[in-house]
Amino acid sequence: MSFSEWKTYTLGEVCQSISNTHKQKKGKLIFLNTGDIERGEILHDNYSEISSMPGQAKKAIQKDDILFSEIRPANGRWAYVNTDGSNYIVSTKLMVIRAGEKIYPKYLYHFLTNRETTKWLQHLAESRSGTFPQITFDQVADIEISIPSICEQQEIASFIDALDDKIDLNQQNNQTIYEIAQTLFKQWFVNFNFPGATEEMIDSELGEVPKGWKVEKLGRVLDVKGGTTPSTKEDKYWNGEFHWVTPKDLSYLKSPVLLDTERKISKEGVEQISSKILPEGTLLLSCRAPIGYLAMSQIPISINQGFIAINGLTVSNLFMLFWLKENMTTVISKANGSTFLEISKTAFKNIDIIVPDKTQLNLFDKIVTPLFETIANNEYESKTLNQLRNRLVPKLLAGEILV
């Protein structure tokens, strides 16, 4: 089908905003607010009593509806309803957009969530000013869309879905692999059920531990560094070639693997940070607002003040990744602060850790290293697929290339 056969409409001509109030007044339903959806996913399926829900829990939905946040439209708070919607009740802060006869619902979803569309909607929202940039369906309805036949729309949507499905499969596989490695860590180093384990135990500051193991301070088994933010008033520090990490970069990660950063700094910017450039393989722990993001960097990085950067001395960074995951409650308990909790490098280095025998440490690393490499490889593939998706989708939706 050639581009000349496509027809142009406004979105208001091919879809509508649904504001039907849910008829069920008693019993339990799944309530979805703006924070309960993200980039295509519905994040929970927890039932709640309707009587206990907030006042904005009103809207009814059905299969193939599109949920789209009115607030900050570029922040990824959208989802496609793949299942029967009768078990859900959604917030009035979510637009419920329903396709008409001229447009295939999944095609409409990909158009609405395309980067070009969300960027424009964000611009419209910000032009209205206010603390929370917000849009209305009237603004969405004015956007023009060119569409081919329903059959062609289905083919295009199926192609995009195939890319998304592969990315989702990688994420699911990574989650499974990560859980396997974490379970292994817990069996060996929490339950002390490791290969060659005997019942020989010795007393320690943290209770009984296997013979040959010992309790140390983190500062004795790790090299710990912090970072800073170069002055944002100095242009010469920014937009260079060196990766600079903030906790925001980790907040988007599906796996504890850092491949890229939102911002980069110059050589002059690097010189403003005492820890300079940290090597590939550095383990990052966010130490403030919030505490607990974890990632192993696959690139050399510089860091801001929101991190404790870790490189193992007598234990590996992989061991520490799973140790921190298992002991995050302890880490957070050492934090303080009136505005927001923060754990200092001094407090972190003073935390006790049970250090296993080198035999168990080496065997754990030997088993877990290829598992983590698989996770990293899956993330590299997903990054490549995302880049391909970002290049192709706007062209597909504009009719510049055909499936």
Domain identity same for 104 and 191: no
Residue 205 has pLDDT above 50, yes or no: yes
Residue 2 has pLDDT above 70, yes or no: no
* pLDDT bucket at 305, cuts 50 / 70 / 90: very high
Q: Is residue 294 part of a domain?
A: yes
CATH, residue 57: 3.90.220.20
Q: Which of 92, 124, 147 is the last residue of a domain?
A: 147
State the average pLDDT over residues 67-94. 94
Residue 3 has pLDDT above 60, yes or no: no
Cβ contacts of residue 173 below 8 Å, gap of 6+? Answer: 374, 378
State the average pLDDT over residues 141-145. 96
State the average pLDDT over residues 119-147. 88
Q: Is residue 263 part of a domain?
A: yes
**What are the tens digits of pLDDT across the range 183-193?**
999 999 999 99
Give the pLDDT score at 212.
93
Q: Which of 130, 147, 164 is the last residue of a domain?
A: 147
Q: Which of 279, 283, 278 is nearest to 303 (CA)?
A: 278
Residue 1 has pLDDT above 60, yes or no: no
Domain identity same for 202 and 76: no
Indicate the average pLDDT of the chain.
95
Domain identity same for 126 and 260: no
Domain identity same for 142 and 253: no
Domain identity same for 131 and 205: no
Domain identity same for 214 and 127: no
Give the pLDDT score at 51.
93
Domain identity same for 195 and 312: yes
Give the integer Cα–Cα distance in Å for 100 and 13: 8
Residue 403 has pLDDT above 90, yes or no: no
Q: Is residue 215 part of a domain?
A: yes
Q: Which of 276, 273, 275, 248 is nearest to 260 (CA)?
A: 248
Give the integer Cα–Cα distance in Å for 34 and 37: 6
Q: Is residue 160 part of a domain?
A: no
Q: Is residue 80 part of a domain?
A: yes
Token duo for residue 328: 């995050």
Domain identity same for 200 and 348: yes
* pLDDT bucket at 250, cuts 50 / 70 / 90: very high
Domain residue limits at 328: 186-357
Give the pLDDT score at 23.
92
Q: Is residue 11 part of a domain?
A: yes
Q: How many domains does the chain have?
A: 2
For the entire predicted model, the pTM comes to 0.89
Q: What DSSP string runs through 240-282?
A: EEEEEE-HHHHHT-SSSEE---SEEE-HHHHTTSTT--BPTT-
Q: Is residue 90 part of a domain?
A: yes
Give the pLDDT score at 338.
78
Token duo for residue 198: 């005997």
Q: Which of 100, 120, 147 is the last residue of a domain?
A: 147
Cβ contacts of residue 115 below 8 Å, gap of 6+? Answer: 390, 393, 394
Domain identity same for 206 and 353: yes
Q: Is residue 380 part of a domain?
A: no
Q: Whole-angstrom distance between the N-terminal and C-terminal Cα of the chain?
A: 10
Residue 363 has pLDDT above 60, yes or no: yes
